[in-house]
Chains A and B, each alone.
Chain A
């Protein structure tokens, strides 16, 4: 990071994408986003978060107070609805003051003796500013070239460095643009029950739905002692990593051991996984109204394993009343892994703790079960009581994003 003179106080500029295109609902989207920003930054001192036109600005209430700008940006970058952020310095609209600020700011970034190309980009939203966009670009460019005749050259097509100048009620100056998570603010698209295992796929599926504004209610089926306490810890960690993006959530842990043993006893081995999935879907389906969710989310991808063939998916869809979202359905595993790495869940997902799918797995599962096969496989079971039993054996665990847990 370059050295910015401390006399130039920096604040954070936040750009919004899709939200700004919304019509009458726009206010609701922005309120939701602002709430989420306030909550994420609540422990970072007393901050002012204000919206002006299509931008949101974050600054410390007391300009003298310390402002952990990189931490603020890191956290904001995880909020859906934010397209990008920049640390910016603010100058009054007065020309001479601005030029002074410009010189100080740029000298903190340049002047390191290395050759660079640059470009100045001016956005003159405030038409009362007396210098035209083009003239200002030239003036600022000349000021830089005068100071660094050896090191700098102009390149308007592929510059190493772009200085952005936005002239509004005040003048904002910056050179970095940090990509945000885009999408829609979480909470604007209802809730979904997320079937969360310890694997790679389900956290990514949750992330994708959250990026479209859906709030998540993760549910995990715990089969102690077949699955270890570490496996549950792993799921909690994954939920925490997901919460960086999707906000705090309540993890529902179903104590599934007795049900699993009963399935193991009464279901033909080649149909065990399918029936287990159907039971899990039914439990999620019944949990949904209790937690005010209107959908179910899974990490299934077509044809990935025996229980994810078209026929297998059809048998699980049949037992639900809510829409089932499978955002990874057409995604290649490698692309899912890339996403998992990007959102930081991959390293946790590959930790080697058992989940029930690996202990209770048949060597030769049926890959193309018909609905009749599925119903027949369940003929010995009292499905209603199994689902009831599962719903009565749920522990709820509050999950916060990891940055609040550190303390």
Chain B
């Protein structure tokens, strides 16, 4: 395999070797249908049960709270649409924030267009977190039925204060259901579902070392959801479709492994990030950090004025270094990034922004190579226009 430098781990984190082993083992040993009543089926079903137990332990949730899904997008859809369908008595009003992932944004569009919901989008501070005052105002304006916010921004790493947002929500909208997108939090920062007070939380396996197509929705006991996928009644009818034992095993294994070393990984990632800035300053590459200083060290939004994010991304790509652009590649709206715009950044700055992800699986040499190549490419391709 060609050596690659993955600085786009926010998009997909490398699969952990132990997880891969367990995944392959399970594909071989537990590859029967968990709904079957023969021994093979029972073994596959108990693999899913064990996985559920491990996930519950890692996230401090009850086993019943966990619904296995295909990932973050499905979980978010299930939570928001499922809750809206389940509770006809809910006020038809959804509050989200300007920092949401497209999954949440598009669910909001669905609720608005198809179920006549009012949607309120709470602005962000210049630090990229939810503006608490505006959040309160939105809560006070009219009764809300659903509230959804992102815990850690996938664009900037900005960390929202989940406890505070839940407390405010309960205070002003006691009847509302609260969903958090914890895709960039799970496995990277510590989290307790029980203590969070959330009704629903969505997570995705491939963001922390499990394969794509794995994920979970956490559901507080008593929070009703209409299933989005009907069929054979698997997972107690909450999400039909044959369960995926190897996927569940891999998801639980990855989450357990990561949860055990959260602090250690945070230290490592923070020091890589600090090294990155040291080297960047040494090389005197003009840049502007768009991420907040106290956000998740895993995600860095940074602009290099003079070179488009896309140009830098392509240039680094031919050096086998993978980063992401601030303004999504192939986007119809050049220089458009809803989250960065909500933080008040200009179109030009957004156009020259990119997203660099740090991960505990990178080395200091990797970071130093990254900075070398950024400096080289900047010198070669930055334009004065």
- Contact partners of B332 in chain A: CB under 8 A: 352
Question: A230-B330, A359-B311 given. 16 additional CB < 8 A pairs?
Answer: A225-B311, A225-B312, A225-B313, A225-B377, A226-B314, A228-B310, A228-B314, A229-B314, A261-B381, A264-B383, A264-B385, A351-B330, A352-B331, A353-B330, A354-B310, A360-B383
When chains A and B are docked, how far (Å) is the Cα of A353 from the Cα of B377?
Answer: 21
- Contact partners of A352 in chain B: CB under 8 A: 330-332, 334
5 contacts between A and B (CB under 8 A): A224-B318, A225-B312, A225-B318, A269-B385, A359-B308
- Contact partners of B299 in chain A: CB under 8 A: none
| Interface residues in B299-315 (C-beta closer than 8 Å to A) | 308, 310-315
Interchain CB contact under 8 A, B381 and A226: yes
When chains A and B are docked, how far (Å) is the Cα of A226 from the Cα of B309?
Answer: 10
- Contact partners of A269 in chain B: CB under 8 A: 385
The verdict on B329 contacting chain A, using a C-beta distance below 8 Å, is: yes
| Interface residues in A329-363 (C-beta closer than 8 Å to B) | 351-354, 359-360, 362
Interchain CB contact under 8 A, B329 and A228: yes
Report which B residues bind A (CB closer than 8 A): 308, 310-315, 317-318, 329-332, 334, 377, 381, 383, 385
- Contact partners of B377 in chain A: CB under 8 A: 225
- Contact partners of B381 in chain A: CB under 8 A: 225-226, 261
- Contact partners of A264 in chain B: CB under 8 A: 383, 385
- Contact partners of B331 in chain A: CB under 8 A: 352
**How close is A393's CB to chain B, nearest CB, in angstroms?**
16
Report which A residues bind B (CB closer than 8 A): 224-226, 228-230, 261, 264, 269, 351-354, 359-360, 362
When chains A and B are docked, how far (Å) is the Cα of A261 from the Cα of B379?
Answer: 12
**How close is B378's CB to chain A, nearest CB, in angstroms?**
12
- Contact partners of B334 in chain A: CB under 8 A: 352
Interchain CB contact under 8 A, A225 and B330: no
**How close is B276's CB to chain A, nearest CB, in angstroms?**
21
Interchain CB contact under 8 A, A225 and B385: no
**How close is A354's CB to chain B, nearest CB, in angstroms?**
7
When chains A and B are docked, how far (Å) is the Cα of A187 from the Cα of B241?
Answer: 57
- Contact partners of A362 in chain B: CB under 8 A: 385
When chains A and B are docked, how far (Å) is the Cα of A354 from the Cα of B309?
Answer: 13
Interchain CB contact under 8 A, B311 and A226: yes
Q: Beyond A352-B330, A359-B308, is A225–B383 a contact (Cβ under 8 Å)?
A: no
- Contact partners of B317 in chain A: CB under 8 A: 225, 229
- Contact partners of B385 in chain A: CB under 8 A: 264, 269, 362
Top 8 closest A-B pairs, CB basis? Answer: A225-B314, A225-B315, A225-B311, A352-B332, A226-B311, A228-B314, A352-B330, A224-B314
- Contact partners of B312 in chain A: CB under 8 A: 225
Identify the interface centre among B313, B314, B331: most chain A CB within 10 Å of its CB: B314
- Contact partners of B315 in chain A: CB under 8 A: 225
When chains A and B are docked, how far (Å) is the Cα of A354 from the Cα of B332?
Answer: 11
**How close is B8's CB to chain A, nearest CB, in angstroms?**
15
**How close is B383's CB to chain A, nearest CB, in angstroms?**
6
When chains A and B are docked, how far (Å) is the Cα of A354 from the Cα of B327?
Answer: 13
When chains A and B are docked, how far (Å) is the Cα of A230 from the Cα of B315?
Answer: 13
When chains A and B are docked, how far (Å) is the Cα of A230 from the Cα of B332?
Answer: 14
When chains A and B are docked, how far (Å) is the Cα of A360 from the Cα of B385?
Answer: 9
When chains A and B are docked, how far (Å) is the Cα of A352 from the Cα of B325?
Answer: 15
When chains A and B are docked, how far (Å) is the Cα of A351 from the Cα of B329?
Answer: 11
When chains A and B are docked, how far (Å) is the Cα of A354 from the Cα of B311?
Answer: 10
- Contact partners of A351 in chain B: CB under 8 A: 330
Name which residue of chain A comes closest to B329, CB basis: A228
When chains A and B are docked, how far (Å) is the Cα of A353 from the Cα of B318?
Answer: 18
Name which residue of chain A comes closest to B314, CB basis: A225
- Contact partners of A224 in chain B: CB under 8 A: 314, 318
**How close is B88's CB to chain A, nearest CB, in angstroms?**
41
- Contact partners of A360 in chain B: CB under 8 A: 383
When chains A and B are docked, how far (Å) is the Cα of A360 from the Cα of B334?
Answer: 15
Identify the interface centre among B315, B317, B385: most chain A CB within 10 Å of its CB: B385
Identify the interface centre among A225, A261, A264, A353: most chain B CB within 10 Å of its CB: A225
When chains A and B are docked, how far (Å) is the Cα of A264 from the Cα of B377?
Answer: 17
**How close is B21's CB to chain A, nearest CB, in angstroms?**
34
Name which residue of chain A comes closest to B334, CB basis: A352
**How close is B319's CB to chain A, nearest CB, in angstroms?**
10
When chains A and B are docked, how far (Å) is the Cα of A228 from the Cα of B329?
Answer: 9
Name which residue of chain B comes closest to A226, CB basis: B311
- Contact partners of B313 in chain A: CB under 8 A: 225
Name which residue of chain A comes closest to B333, CB basis: A352
**How close is B142's CB to chain A, nearest CB, in angstroms?**
38
Identify the interface centre among B311, B332, B381: most chain A CB within 10 Å of its CB: B311
**How close is A247's CB to chain B, nearest CB, in angstroms?**
30
